[in-house]
Chains A and B, each alone.
Chain A
Amino acid sequence: MASSIEPLNDTDSILTSFDEQRLIQLTRDGDYDAFNRLVIEYQGAVFAVVLRTVRNRAAAEDITQDAFISAFRKISSYRGGIFRAWLFRIAKNASLDYLRKQARRPETSIDEDIVYFSETVKDDSQDPLADALNAELARLIEHCLGGLSEDHRFAMVMVDVEGYQYDEAAESIGVSIGTVKSRLNRARARMSDCVQQDPELLPVAMRL
């Protein structure tokens, strides 16, 4: 179907809520260009959450692509609410399916593809020693995050890493806000216990 929307590139501005609803309506009519503007808007966020959940870059790309294809096909089932959360829920289900399949195949190692936060931790100190410590700390955090259950990890990635609000995280996960808070509380407590295993890597404030 020919699109009535001008093509956008990655640098275009954030969509307004009105634009979003209009694009969703056009997508229901089969407009690929309209849906792809939504894809451009949210692909970074969806990919980040998926990557930090599955910790495998190639798998994350596949899951993200499949999630958007699935979203286009199931757009009629979108009943309102936060559209990004609806996308996150599709991506989360695909991510959890992937992780469960991986769990049934213990011989498959994903260690070589693990996404360490060391690649992305911000540090303005320009201090090589601080960079090294940050890299080790990031590895430790990533290790501890990987030790959480899938539900706890997803909640922590959504709220503590990606910075989404409780309501959006709850809608994305498909649980109540109270459940998100509860999962976060337990996830943070377990993360704290885990990172204490290597206290010299921690900032002074974190050391016991």
Chain B
Amino acid sequence: MIFRVLNRLIGRTDSSLDAVNAYVEGNASPDEIKLIEQMVRENPALEKDLTTQRSLLQVLDRVDNIEAPRSFAVTPEMVAAAERSESRLSRLAELFAPQRKLALAPAVIAGITALGVALLTLGDITGVVDQNRLSGEGSFTTTKAAEIGRQTEGRVSIIERESESSVADDVIVTVVVEKQVAGDSGSDGSTEMAASTDAPVATALVSEAQAPVVAPESEDSSLAAKAVAPDGEPEADADVIGEQPPSIAAAPPALVVEVDGDSLTENDIPAVAPEISELVSPDDLEAGTVTTSSLGYGVGGEIADGAADGAALGAAEGAAAGAADGAASNEGKGISLPLWQLQIALAALAIAAIGAWAGLRRARGE
């Protein structure tokens, strides 16, 4: 196509091409000879070129035929051997043979995915791309909550997992922090235990925003505290700070901490908190999903007279602090993606593509 365009730019058309070929081959028609003569008048150097080409063809015409050195007859054994050697992989490699359009497909895929990894990494370093907490390891998942319950042998357990209809991905996890009280060792459910011990039960429902981009300030983060009476019914609901934002669908999993026992004081924190602290990763704490302060306030609130309110308030304040931290840490960042998952997936794809490319080359015997 390019040569055709160039030929047209210099005034040479397909008809002139035919004329030149016919003239060199010695079978030009009278019209073609006239056209050649006109071209020669316009470009005298062309005459020598055409003469040289005619002489060249005369030399090439003197070349003898080449005889086959042996018989190339085909036998069933040859065909069978060829079919055996043509494995599935080699047939696949044929699809990517150099003369085919798919030849560079594996290399292109490898390049694109490697570029994707590089861009994500660069975005992570520069802060343009942020790890999506919803799917990141920083989120406090039901799996992790269940792990807490299992490892604390029921003293800390999941008693509730909710998914509010208006909040598609908001998983509410309720964890009961039970203080071991003599004579109550047989209790295993928070409601049952509350009844048997006749002690106030405080449930702190902490729904923290993960500081999404739409909520740059902590005050906008969703935050709620709920107190639960000993009979398990909600005693009081309190929106401590801020209001539930309409964009709660973007909110991370919430944490509900339920504290049982009126004798629970700040002195008891070390007996409970370390177990939780060991199970909750620093990323959880950094993300504001679970904060030591929320646990501390929730457990160590003034619950002698108003345990529920105190615990709820304390947990809510702790959550507020976490949310504020989260908001501050995410402020100004552009895109939230499941970063490390994408990086690993793309890197794996790049490696697979490179491996496939190398394998196909080997299958082709290159």
Interface residues of A (CB under 8 A from B): 10, 32, 35-36, 39-40, 43-44, 46-48, 51-52, 57, 61, 64-66, 68-70, 72-73, 93, 96-97, 100-101, 104, 117, 120-123, 137-138, 141, 160-161, 163, 178, 181-182, 184-186, 188-189, 191-192, 195-196, 202-203, 205-206, 208
**Pair B59/A196 contact, Cβ less than 8 Å:** no
Q: Determine the chain A residues whose CB is within 8 A of the CB of B3 once the complex forms.
A: 182, 186
Q: Give complex CA distance A184, B18 in Å.
A: 11
A206 touches which one: B18, B20, B55 (CB < 8 A)?
A: B55
B14 contacts A178, CB within 8 Å?
yes
How many angstroms between the C-alpha atoms of A101 and B82 in the bound complex?
20
Beyond the given A40-B73, A100-B98, could you list 19 further A-B residue pairs with CB under 8 A, ordered by the A residue number?
A: A40-B71, A47-B66, A48-B65, A52-B66, A66-B82, A72-B79, A73-B79, A73-B83, A101-B366, A120-B66, A121-B59, A122-B63, A160-B60, A185-B20, A188-B57, A189-B53, A195-B56, A206-B55, A208-B48
- The reply to whether the CB of B8 lies closer than 8 angstroms to some CB of chain A is no
On whether the beta carbons of A69 and B74 are closer than 8 Å, the reply is yes
Query: Which of B14, B17, B68, B78 is the one whose CB lies under 8 Å from A47?
Result: B68
Q: Dominant SS at the A interface?
A: helix
Q: What residues of B have a CB within 8 angstroms of the CB of A191 in the complex?
A: 53, 56
Given contacts A182-B17, A206-B55, whether A36 and B4 have CB atoms under 8 Å apart is no
CA distance A70 to B150 in the complex (A): 66
B206 within 8 A of A: no
Can you list 9 A-B contacts (CB < 8 A)? A43-B71, A46-B72, A61-B72, A69-B78, A141-B56, A184-B21, A185-B21, A195-B56, A205-B54
- Measured in the bound complex, the distance between the Cα atoms of B206 and A161 in whole Å is 88
* Residues of B close to A160: CB separation below 8 A: 57, 60-61
* Assembly CA distance A90 to B65 (angstroms): 21
Q: Nearest chain A CB to B62's CB is how many angstroms away?
A: 5
List residues of chain B with CB within 8 A of the CB of A65. 72, 78
Whether the pair A47, B82 counts as a contact (CB closer than 8 A) is: no
Chain A residues, Cβ within 8 Å of B71 = 10, 39-40, 43
Residues of chain B from 349 to 366 with CB closer than 8 A to chain A in the complex: 365-366
Contact residues of B between 327 and 356, Cβ < 8 Å to A: none
B85 to chain A, nearest CB (A): 10
Chain B residue nearest to A144 (CB atoms) is B56
Residue of B nearest to A174 (CB): B99
Bound state CA distance, A69 and B80, in angstroms?
10
B67 contact set on A, CB distance < 8 A = 44
> B240: CB under 8 A from chain A?
no
Residue from B59, B63, B68, B69 in contact with A203 in the complex, judged by beta carbons closer than 8 Å:
B59
Is B110 interfacial (CB 8 A cutoff)? no
> How close is A183's CB to chain B, nearest CB, in angstroms?
9
Query: In the complex, A70→B83 CA distance in Å?
Result: 10
Bitwise, B252-295 to A at CB < 8 A (1) or not (0) is 00000000000000000000000000000000000000000000
Closest chain A CB from B271 CB (angstroms): 71
For window 288-331 of chain B, which residues contact chain A by CB distance below 8 Å?
none
Which B residues between 35 and 65 are near A, CB-CB below 8 angstroms?
48-49, 51-65
| Cα A186 to Cα B75 with chains together (Å) | 41
B240 to chain A, nearest CB (A): 71
* Interface residue from B17, B59, B65, B98 paired with A185 (Cβ < 8 Å): B17
The smallest beta-carbon distance between B39 and chain A, in angstroms, is: 13
Complex interface: chain B residues within 8 A of A101 (CB)? 365-366
Q: Which of A40, A43, A68, A70 has the most CB of B within 10 A?
A: A43
Residue in A closest to B54 when the chains form the complex, CB atoms: A205
Q: Which residues of the partner chain A approach B78 to less than 8 Å between Cβ atoms?
A: 65, 69
Q: What separation, in Å, do the CA atoms of A141 and B66 have in the docked complex?
A: 17
Known A-B contacts A122-B63, A181-B17, A182-B4; the reply to A96 vs B69 at CB < 8 A is: no
Contact assessment for A61 and B366 in the assembled complex, using a CB-CB cutoff below 8 Å:
no
Q: Mark B5-33, 1 if CB is under 8 A from A, else 0.
A: 00000000010011011001000000000
Chain B residues within an 8 Å CB radius of A137: 59
B366 nearest in chain A by CB position: A101
A93 to B69, CA, bound (A): 21
A9: min CB distance to chain B, Å: 9
Q: Is the CB of B72 within 8 A of A188?
A: no
Specify which of B4, B53, B68 lies most central, judged by the most chain A CB atoms within 10 Å of its CB.
B68
Does B76 interact with chain A (Cβ within 8 Å)?
yes
- Are A206 and B52 closer than 8 Å at their CB atoms? yes
Check if B56 sits within 8 Å of A36, measured CB to CB.
no
Query: Given that A39-B74, A182-B17 are known contacts, is A188 also in contact with B63, CB under 8 Å in the complex?
Result: no
- With A121-B63, A188-B56 in contact, is A32–B17 under 8 Å at CB? no
Q: List residues of chain A with CB within 8 A of the CB of B213.
A: none
* Contact call B82/A181, Cβ cutoff below 8 A: no
Task: Answer whether A47 and B69 are a contact pair too, CB < 8 Å, given A93-B99, A188-B53, A206-B56.
Answer: yes
Residue from the list A68, A93, A141, A192 in contact with B52, Cβ < 8 A: A192
Q: Which chain B residues lie closer than 8 Å to A141 at the CB level?
A: 56, 59-60
